[in-house]
Amino acid sequence: MHKPFIMKKMSKENNGRRKLLKAGIIAAAAGGIYMLSSCKSKEEKSEGEGQEVSPPEDLMQEHGLLNRILLIYDNCSTNLSNKQSSPVEAITNAAAIVRSFVEDYHEKQEENYLFPRFEKANQLTALVQTLRRQHQAGRNLTDQIAQLSKQATRTDKETERLIQLLNSFNTMYRPHEAREDTVLFPAFRKLVSKNEYDSLGEEFENNEHKLFGEGGFETMVDKVAAIEKSLGIYELAQFTPQV
């Protein structure tokens, strides 16, 4: 008499377990999909963030490349002063990068997109005027450096002039780029809207690709590295002091 009751009870319990198991599987699957979606979203966001470079960050990376050229000029100037053998074509090649990438591209970006906005807003105008004058002075120096370094032979006076030009270029550009990095670029972020700021980053990248192709900056870094290797100053460890 009790068997049907027991069977019915067991059937309800089994049915309840199946429902719980099914619910658990669905919840786990949903949770797995959510976790996968969340991870994918974070990965995509991370990749997207890694590809986005703000206008000042872009310009500061290019300052890093310029700093490596200043090191090349330092080395060549020292070698010429000490009458040590040094591949003078290193100066010619470095000056060519300065002309094409630094002056005709990097500085043009500043002159076309940053300086006018500060002048229109009447902010940091004295600094902008000085930076403009230094850009022009740098181009004059590069003209003379390129001309003297290309000569097959030079008199002692011409060699002394080349040393002076290299030193003058470095003396001006180290504080020049430092002032841009620490004063001008931080102020620029506050000067424009977020939309304008973001669109300028894209425009900078497009301009670079038009002039130098995909990976233009990386190509220039490789060229600078090749010059460093020719001078024996590529390995970073050699600049570590023995203390």
- pLDDT (tens digit per residue) in 28-85: 444 443 444 444 443 443 444 445 667 878 889 999 999 999 999 999 999 999 988 7
pLDDT at position 167 is 98
pLDDT at position 63 is 95
Query: Across the chain, what does the average pLDDT equal?
Result: 83
CA distance 159 to 80: 7
CA distance 139 to 143: 6
- Do 105 and 195 touch, CB atoms closer than 8 A? no
pLDDT at position 194 is 85
pLDDT at position 215 is 85
pLDDT at position 8 is 41
149-187, pLDDT tens digit by residue? 999 889 999 999 999 999 999 999 999 999 999 999 999
pLDDT at position 9 is 41
- The pTM score is 0.77
Q: What share of the chain is helix, strand, coil (3-state, %, to 5)?
A: 85, 0, 15
Is 133 a residue whose pLDDT tops 70? Answer: yes
CA distance 209 to 160: 39
pLDDT at position 53 is 67
* Number of other CB atoms surrounding residue 117 within 10 Å: 15
- Do 129 and 146 touch, CB atoms closer than 8 A? no
CA distance 93 to 191: 37
pLDDT at position 195 is 87
Is 104 a residue whose pLDDT tops 60? Answer: yes
pLDDT at position 51 is 52
Q: How far is CA 225 from CA 2, 3, 55, 70, 234, in A?
A: 91, 89, 24, 13, 6
CA distance 51 to 57: 12
pLDDT at position 4 is 44
